[in-house]
C-alpha cells in the first residue's frame, strides 16, 4: 500500500492525492471530434468555410435577392467566389449558419471575364454587392485533397494507436489484437526453476514410479535409443480433481531439468476462427527450438473432446484446434524430444484419436490417496505449521478417508486459520477436528436461534442415524453427533469414523448405507408419529444407491447382471445428442419395483433395530439436548456394555 501511495503522491508525503484522469474519456472525445469533423465538410470545414457550387444564372438570382456581400473572380480558373450574407445562409445552404461555418461562399464557373467584369461593376454601383475584386492565384488542388481526407486519415491513425495500446497492455499475456494467434504457454527455461521435485509430491508413489521412466529418458536418452526404444510422445494424467496431477507434471520437469511449457486447455479457445489451431502450431514451433522439453496442457478436456458430438455435431473451431494438435503430436511433422503431458478428470469424453499410442502412450492414474498416502501428504503440509503435542497425523489420515491432496491442504489451512483467529501459536487436534467439520459438512452456526421443538426433532433424527452407524458392522463407528446447524443448511449431522479404506463396495455395505440413510426418518416416525422434510437428502441418497445396485452393478437377482444405462450421457460435454433407451417399458417398471423393494426392506430392518434400542434413542436425544454435540466415547457409553450387542453385528442380508 505504501508503494501505491507514493505513486499517486510523488512527494511520498502524507498530503492529498492528486486525482487520476481517466484517459478513456480523452480517447472518446477525440474520436467523436474526428467523426464530427469528417461528416461536417472535410477540408472546407477545416478551412473555416463551406463551399457550394452554383450556375452563373443562380449567381445573378442571388445578387437580385440581396444574398451576395462580395465577389472574387479568378481569371486563371474562370471561377467566382460569392460570399454570402450570413442573414441569408439558410436560404442558400438550407442549413443554419452555425452548421455551415464562418465565411460561407458559393463557387460559380463563368464563360467570359468581360461579362463578369461589366455585370459585377454595375452591381457595385447599384450597391447590390459591396465589392468586386480579382484573385489570380491558382488554387492548390493537392492541399485541398489532403485537407478533405485528413479526418479519415486521423481516424485510422487513432484506431491504429489504440490497437497498439491494447496490444502492449496484453503483451504479458501473449495477446493483443495483432498477435492473437500466438501461444499463451508460459515457459520455464529449466524445469527446476519451478522449484518442485518428487519430494514435494506425496501419496502418489505408483504414479511417480510411472513418470520416473520419462524423467530417466530425458536425462539418459542414449540408454534407451541404443536398444531401439523411442521416447514416449505423451503421458495423460487421469484422476479426480485435486489429486495432484498438475503438481506431478511440474515435478517431472523439475527432476528432468528441461524446459517446461505450461498451458491450460481453455487458452486455445477464442472467439476468432483459427486462433486455437494457430496457437497449437506456435506452441510446438517454440518447443522444437528448446527440445528436449515438456509441454504440459492442463484440463485438456476443454479442447480435446470427442469430435462430432454435441448439438449440431459439426466442424467447429474446437475441432480445428484438436485436429492441429493430433497432427503435431503424431502426424507428418517431426517433434523428436518433445513430450506432451496433459491432465484431465474427464477422460471419458476425450476423442479416441488422441488417446491412441503414438500420441498419449501412457495413461497414468492419479487417484485418491490411501491412508498411508494421506499421512505422507499431511506431513508435507505441516512443514511450516507449528503443531501441538496432541496432534496425531495417523488419526487424521484415518479419519479423512476419501480426501484428495487438495482437500488435505485445505483442511490444514482451515485449522491454521482457526488457530490464528483464537490467538494461539500452535495447532491442536481440536483445531483440526473443527476444520474437518467445516470442510466436510459446513461451518457450525451456533448463533442461529432454534426452538426447543426443532432441536428435539433434530436430536431424535440424528440419534436414529447414530444408532444404525453403531450397530451395523460395515458403516461405523460414530465419531461425532451434533444438533448444531451447519453452513450447508443442515440442522445437524452425524459423522462416522471409517476404520480403514475400502477398495470395494460390497452389496451388504451398500444395503447398510441405505439403512443408515433412512434412520433419521424412522426415528421421527417412532417418536412423533409424524414426519418432516429433514430427510429429503437422506431419501435422495438411498434412492440413488438402490437404483445403482439394480441398473449398474447387477445386484438384482430378478433383473440379472445387465447394465440398464445407468450412466448419464450429457450432450454438452461431448456425448451424442440422440440416445435411445435400451430396455422396454416393462423392464423400466421392473426396475422401479426392485428399487422400491430394496428401500422398503431396508426400511423395515432399520426400523426393527432402532425399536430394539429405543432406550438408547431417548438417552441420546436427552444428551444432545443438553450438550448439542457428543463424541464417540459419550455415545458408545449409552449402550449398556459399550460394545455392539451380540447377534446384531451380522450384515443384514436383503435379497436384491
36-41 long-range contacts (CB < 8 A, ≥24 apart) are 37/151, 38/151, 38/152, 38/155, 40/99, 41/101
Instruction: In whole angstroms, give the CA distance from residue 332 to residue 107.
Output: 70
Nearby residues of 400 by Cβ (< 8 Å), 6 or more positions away: 374, 407, 408, 411, 436
Nearby residues of 136 by Cβ (< 8 Å), 6 or more positions away: 74, 75, 76
State the catalytic residue, choosing from 328, 462, 594, 636.
462
**Per-position DSSP letters for 489-522, written without gaps between them:** S-S-EEEE--SS--SS--HHHHHHHHHHHHHHHH
Instruction: In whole angstroms, give the CA distance from residue 185 to residue 8.
Output: 34
Nearby residues of 99 by Cβ (< 8 Å), 6 or more positions away: 40, 93
Instruction: In whole angstroms, give the CA distance from residue 253 to residue 190.
Output: 8
Nearest to 542 by CA among 563, 570, 511: 511
Q: Please give the grid coordinates belonging to residue 265.
A: 486447455
If you search the block for the grid coordinates 496425531, which residue do you land on?
Answer: 392
Instruction: In whole angstroms, give the CA distance from residue 456 to residue 534.
Output: 13
Helix axes 452-471, 614-627, angle to 10 degrees: 130
Instruction: In whole angstroms, give the CA distance from residue 546 to residue 550.
Output: 7
Q: Please give the grid coordinates belonging to residue 346.
A: 474427464
Nearby residues of 199 by Cβ (< 8 Å), 6 or more positions away: none
**Per-position DSSP letters for 537-588, written without gaps between them:** HHHHHHHHHHHHHHHTS---TTT-S-----S---GGGT--S----SS-HHHH
Q: What angle do CA 201, 204, 208 make, to 5 degrees?
A: 75
Q: Is residue 389 flagged as an active site residue? A: no
Instruction: In whole angstroms, give the CA distance from residue 381 to residue 9.
Output: 42
Residue 513 vs residues 178, 351, 540, 556: alpha-carbon distances, Å: 59, 37, 12, 17
Nearest to 388 by CA among 436, 425, 351, 414: 425
Return the H-helix or E-strand segment holding 93: helix 89-93
Nearest to 304 by CA among 321, 282, 316, 317: 321
Nearest to 133 by CA among 70, 188, 91: 70
Instruction: In whole angstroms, give the CA distance from residue 280 to residue 175.
Output: 14
Nearest to 599 by CA among 533, 509, 649, 539: 539
What single DSSP character describes residue 475? Answer: T
In this structure, what are the phi and psi dihedrals at residue 649, rounded to the nearest 5 degrees?
-85, -5
The catalytic site residues sit at: 462
Amino acid at each position: 500500500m505504501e508503494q501505491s501511495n507514493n505513486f499517486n503522491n510523488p512527494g511520498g508525503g502524507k498530503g492529498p492525492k492528486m486525482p487520476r484522469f481517466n484517459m478513456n474519456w480523452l480517447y472518446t472525445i477525440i474520436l467523436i471530434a474526428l467523426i464530427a469533423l469528417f461528416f461536417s465538410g472535410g477540408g472546407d470545414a477545416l478551412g473555416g468555410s463551406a463551399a457550394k457550387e452554383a450556375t452563373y444564372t443562380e449567381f445573378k438570382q442571388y445578387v437580385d435577392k440581396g444574398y451576395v456581400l462580395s465577389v472574387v473572380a479568378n481569371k486563371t480558373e474562370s471561377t467566382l467566389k460569392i460570399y454570402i450574407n450570413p442573414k441569408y445562409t439558410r436560404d442558400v445552404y438550407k442549413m443554419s449558419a452555425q452548421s455551415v461555418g464562418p465565411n460561407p461562399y458559393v463557387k460559380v464557373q463563368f464563360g467570359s471575364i468581360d461579362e463578369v467584369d461589366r455585370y459585377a461593376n454595375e452591381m457595385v454601383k447599384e450597391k447590390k454587392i459591396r465589392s468586386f475584386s480579382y484573385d489570380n492565384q491558382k488554387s492548390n488542388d493537392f492541399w485541398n485533397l489532403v485537407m478533405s481526407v485528413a479526418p479519415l486519415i486521423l481516424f485510422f491513425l487513432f484506431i491504429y494507436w489504440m490497437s497498439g495500446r491494447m496490444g502492449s497492455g496484453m503483451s504479458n499475456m501473449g495477446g493483443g489484437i495483432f498477435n492473437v494467434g500466438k501461444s499463451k504457454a508460459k515457459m520455464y527455461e529449466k524445469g527446476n526453476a519451478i522449484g518442485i521435485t518428487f519430494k514435494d509430491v506425496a501419496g502418489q508413489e505408483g504414479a511417480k514410479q510411472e513418470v520416473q521412466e520419462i524423467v530417466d529418458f530425458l536425462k539418459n536418452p542414449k540408454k534407451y535409443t541404443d536398444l531401439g526404444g523411442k521416447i514416449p510422445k505423451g503421458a495423460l494424467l487421469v484422476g479426480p480433481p485435486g489429486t495432484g496431477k498438475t503438481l506431478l507434471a511440474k515435478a517431472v520437469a523439475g527432476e528432468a531439468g528441461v524446459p517446461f511449457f505450461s498451458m491450460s486447455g481453455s487458452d486455445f479457445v477464442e472467439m476468432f476462427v483459427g486462433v486455437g489451431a494457430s496457437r497449437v502450431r506456435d506452441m510446438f514451433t517454440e518447443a522444437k527450438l528448446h527440445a528436449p522439453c515438456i509441454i504440459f496442457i492442463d484440463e485438456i478436456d476443454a479442447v480435446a473432446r470427442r469430435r462430432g458430438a454435441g448439438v449440431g455435431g459439426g466442424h467447429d473451431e474446437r475441432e480445428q484446434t484438436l485436429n492441429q494438435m493430433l497432427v503435431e503430436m503424431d502426424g507428418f511433422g517431426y517433434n523428436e524430444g518433445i513430450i506432451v503431458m496433459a491432465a484431465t478428470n474427464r477422460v471419458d469424453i476425450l476423442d479416441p484419436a488422441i488417446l491412441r499410442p503414438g500420441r498419449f502412450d501412457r495413461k497414468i492414474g492419479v487417484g485418491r490417496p490411501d491412508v498411508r498416502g494421506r499421512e505422507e501428504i499431511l506431513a508435507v503440509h505441516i512443514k511450516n505449521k507449528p503443531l501441538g503435542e496432541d496432534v496425531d497425523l495417523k488419526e487424521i489420515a484415518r479419519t479423512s478417508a476419501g480426501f484428495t491432496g487438495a482437500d488435505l491442504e485445505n483442511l490444514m489451512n482451515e485449522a491454521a486459520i482457526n488457530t490464528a483467529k483464537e490467538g494461539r501459536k500452535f495447532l491442536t487436534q481440536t483445531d483440526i477436528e473443527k476444520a474437518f467439520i467445516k470442510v466436510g459438512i459446513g461451518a457450525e452456526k451456533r448463533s442461529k436461534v432454534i426452538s426447543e421443538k426443532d432441536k428435539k426433532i433434530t436430536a431424535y433424527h440424528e440419534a436414529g442415524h447414530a444408532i444404525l452407524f453403531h450397530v451395523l458392522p460395515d458403516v461405523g463407528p460414530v465419531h461425532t453427533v451434533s444438533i448444531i446447524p451447519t453452513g450447508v443448511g443442515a440442522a445437524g449431522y452425524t459423522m462416522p469414523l471409517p476404520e480403514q479404506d475400502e477398495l470395494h463396495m460390497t452389496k451388504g455395505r451398500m444395503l447398510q448405507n441405505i439403512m443408515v440413510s433412512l434412520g433419521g426418518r424412522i426415528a421421527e416416525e417412532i417418536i412423533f408419529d409424524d414426519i418432516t422434510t429433514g430427510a429429503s437428502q437422506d431419501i435422495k441418497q438411498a434412492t440413488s444407491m438402490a437404483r445403482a445396485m439394480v441398473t449398474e452393478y447387477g445386484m438384482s437377482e430378478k433383473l440379472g447382471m445387465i447394465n440398464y444405462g445407468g450412466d448419464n450421457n450429457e450432450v454438452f460435454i461431448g456425448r451424442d445428442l440422440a440416445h435411445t433407451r435400451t430396455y422396454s417399458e416393462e423392464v423400466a417398471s421392473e426396475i422401479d419395483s426392485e428399487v422400491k423393494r430394496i428401500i422398503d426392506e431396508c426400511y423395515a430392518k432399520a426400523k426393527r433395530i432402532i425399536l430394539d434400542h429405543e432406550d438408547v434413542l431417548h438417552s441420546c436425544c436427552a444428551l444432545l439436548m443438553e450438550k448439542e454435540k457428543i463424541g464417540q466415547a459419550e455415545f458408545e457409553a449409552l449402550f449398556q456394555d459399550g460394545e455392539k450387542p451380540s447377534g446384531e453385528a451380522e450384515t443384514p442380508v436383503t435379497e436384491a
